Each structure stands twice: as C-alpha cells, then as structure tokens.
Amino acid sequence: MTGGDDDPRVTELRSAVARLRRRLAAHPGEFADRTIAEEELAALDAMAADGTPEIPRLRRSLLLIAGAIGSVSALAPELAEVRRAVDLFGGPVRGQG
C-alpha cells in the first residue's frame, strides 16, 4: 500500500492511536506492562505514518497492547477505537465478532 495520507484507514488508525497514547500518558496509575503498550503504540503510529502497515504486524501490536492495558478499564474506549481502526485493514480475525 502506498500513499498512506490518502487512505482513510491510515488516517483513522493514526487518530485512534494518538487518542490512546494521550489517555495512556495522562493515566495516573502504574502497571507492569505500560512500557510494552507505549512501545507498541509507537510502532503502530510509525507503521501508519509510513503508509504501508502490514496487517499481521498491526494485529500483533494490537494483541500486545490489549494484553498490556486490557485490565485498565479507563482505557477501554480508546483501546476499542484502535481495534476498530486495525479491523479496517482486514476485518475481524476469524472467530471474533
């Protein structure tokens, strides 16, 4: 995929990632896997900025982020937005719905 600036999926992904990064930065609580979530969000942003996100890598990052912050209910809405944005690149994984 080229021309990421013209792809609305890329725009949506970057927006969702930015919102979750801001909420995570503002979240006062510490948790063990916070660094993993921050690193994977940075990786998602870099892939989207490049305009050539690889679907398996997007899904891997999403899985790691969800595992890292999934128990922090305050971040659930933004995490769901990131998941929806990733799903725009290939729909839900088989068995999820």
pLDDT by residue (tens digit) across 7-51?
899 999 999 999 999 999 999 988 889 999 999 999 999 999 988
**Can you tell me the mean pLDDT for 58-64?**
95
Task: Tell me what pLDDT residue 88 has.
Answer: 92
Distance CA 87, CA 26 (A): 26
Distance CA 57, CA 3 (A): 19
Task: Tell me what pLDDT residue 5 has.
Answer: 57
Asked whether 43 and 61 are in contact (CB, 8 A), the reply is yes
CA nearest neighbour of 2 among 51, 59, 72, 63: 51
